[in-house]
Amino acid sequence: MIDHRYLSDLRLLLYPAVYPHEQVDLPKELQMLLTRSKRKTARYALAVTAWDNGCNGNEFLADRRRVVTRELAARWMLAEVGLYLVILGTNNDWRDRLAEMRADRTGFHSTIVQGVHYINTATGDFNTVQSAWGPVTFGNAEILTDLVASVPMAA
């Protein structure tokens, strides 16, 4: 179940200050998709989606990557997108599912998952996995983690 107040508060925090563009006609798998471009080739996106209890973390991440790739017409080496994915859900085994969702360590995808942020909407608990090369993170993942975590869940 999606918390619409949370989505509204997150949108107010990130759009247009961090992500100046919002996709409005979204596929059913996505509740929000914000984008920004930096220079001519760098593109970044933040997508919010609901957890699908019918699959494991690897399948879920692969599915959402495909959806974002299709929605943003991402192409490897030509029009890549760095994605920060926010997942909202209430499943009891969310930490196990998050462990199955690995952020990308290479750029060999048209949509590069730079961070996955899971929020348990029942408890407000959250956890993040993000790509890193040693102490260096990519796509402002640390800043986004702090911003996404700062939005309170509805009581």
Q: Which residue has the higher pLDDT, 17 or 77?
A: 17
Query: What is the b/e burial string over 111-135, where b = at least 16 CB atoms within 10 angstroms of the residue's CB?
Result: bbbbbbbbbbbeeeebebbbbeeee
Query: What is the b/e burial string over 18-28, where b = at least 16 CB atoms within 10 angstroms of the residue's CB?
Result: ebeeebeebee
pLDDT recorded at residue 2:
75
Q: Is the pLDDT of residue 131 over 60?
A: yes
86-100 per-position pLDDT tens digit: 999 888 777 788 888
pLDDT recorded at residue 137:
58
pLDDT recorded at residue 139:
59
**62 Cβ neighbours under 8 A, 6+ residues apart:** none
In contact, 65 and 83? CB cutoff 8 Å: yes
Q: Taking Cα atoms as reference points, which of 139, 13, 36, 57 lies closest to residue 130? A: 139
Q: Residue holding tokens 């952020």?
A: 103
Give mean pLDDT, residues 120-125: 87
Q: Over the chain, what is the mean pLDDT?
A: 87
The fraction of the chain above a pLDDT of 70, given in percent, is 90
Considering only 23-37, 67-81, 86-100, 116-130, which range has the smallest mean pLDDT?
86-100
Give the pLDDT band (50/70/90) at residue 3: confident
Specify the DSSP class assigned to residue 146: H
Q: Residue holding tokens 């998709």?
A: 33
**Which parts of 88-133 fold into alpha helices (H)?**
94-100
CA–CA dist 67, 18 (Å, integer): 22
Q: Is the pLDDT of residue 40 over 80?
A: no
